[in-house]
Amino acid sequence: MAGRPDEESAGADRVGGRYWLFMGKTYERLDGRLRGFIEEQVVFFVATAPLSAQGSVNLSPKGRAGTLTVLDERTLAYLDFGGSHAETLAHLRENGRITLMWCAFSGPPAIVRVHGRGEPVFRDDPRFAGLLARFDPRAADPTGLRSIIVVTAERISDSCGYAVPFLEYREERSLHREYFGRRTDEEFAAYCERKEYNGTSIDGLPALPLPLPPLPHPSPAPHHPAPAPHHPAPAPSPPAAAG
C-alpha cells in the first residue's frame, strides 16, 4: 500500500478514541502498542517446519488465556501443554525457526507476526521454574505442561488484516485443562510415552525427550480459574475496499 492515509480516511479505524494504522511495517521491538495488541488476543498461531524439503510444515492454534507472555521487547514465551503431537518441539530442536501470528477478530483490523528463533525449555532445565514464574499463576498451572517455548524475535511486522472476519468470542474451552487435571504427573508422563508422535515427529525427528522428567515443583491440587481474556470494544464494519 503506497503512501500514508490521513487518520480520518478509510485506512484507519477508530476504537475508544484510538486510531490503529497497519501499513505493512516492520518494527525493531515489541512496543507498548504491539504488546497490548498481542495480549488482547484470545488465540494465536504457531508455524514451524523441518529443514527437509520433503518434511511436513506444521501450523498450530494456541489458546488458554494467560499462557503466553511478553518477556521483554524482543522475547516472548508460551506454555507447551500435552497433546497428541509434538511437531513444534521437533522443528525447534532441529533448526529453531518459528513464526507467531495474531489477528484481530474484533475491533480494528490487524495482523501481527513475529519471525524468530524458538527454544523449548524442558522440565529438567534450570531455567524452567524461573520462566514459569513469569506467567500469571492462575493460568500457569503446570499440570500437563511439557515445556516452555521461548521465542526471540528476528523480525516483527504488521499488516492490515482487512480480510479477517469479525468473530464473536464466547468463552474458553475448559476440556483441555480438565482432561489433564484429572491425571497425576506420573500418569501424564505415561500418556506422553504412549503417544506415537510425542517422542518423535511425524517425519521421524526427535521431539519430546522421554521419559518425561518430573516437574521441578509439586503440581497444585485444585485448579484455579484462568483469567478472563480482555475483550476489545467492537468496531464498526470496515469500509468497502475502493476500486
CA angle, residues 185, 96, 98, in degrees to nearest 5: 90
Rounded mean pLDDT, 152-177 = 94
pLDDT digits (tens, 9 = 90+) for 18-48: 445 557 899 999 999 999 999 999 999 999 9
Rounded mean pLDDT, 182-208 = 97
The pLDDT of residue 30: 98
- Alpha helix (H) residue ranges in the chain: 32-40, 87-94, 128-132, 175-181, 185-194
Rounded mean pLDDT, 47-54 = 98
- Distance between CA atoms of residues 73 and 61, nearest Å: 23
Homologous superfamily of the 15-194 domain (CATH): Electron Transport, Fmn-binding Protein; Chain A (2.30.110.10)
Residue type, 90: A
Q: How confident is the model at residue 117 (pLDDT cuts 50, 70, 90)?
A: very high
* Residue extents of the structural domains in the chain: 15-194
Q: Cα torsion at 40, 111, 47, 69 (round to 10°)?
A: -30
The pLDDT of residue 59: 98
Which pairing describes strands 44-48 and 97-103: parallel, antiparallel, or unpaired?
A: antiparallel
Question: What distance lies between CA 81 and its chain's CA centroid?
Answer: 12
Question: What distance lies between CA 121 and its chain's CA centroid?
Answer: 15
The pLDDT of residue 50: 99
Contact at 8 Å (CB) between 101 and 112?
yes
Locate the DSSP E strands across 73-206: 75-81, 97-103, 111-122, 145-159
Region of residue 111 (phi > 0: left; psi between -120 and 50: alpha; otherwise: beta)? beta
The pLDDT of residue 13: 46
Rounded mean pLDDT, 75-91 = 98
- Distance between CA atoms of residues 106 and 213, nearest Å: 41
Q: Indicate whether 134 pLDDT > 90.
A: yes
Contact at 8 Å (CB) between 144 and 208?
no
Across all residues in the chain, what is the average pLDDT? 85
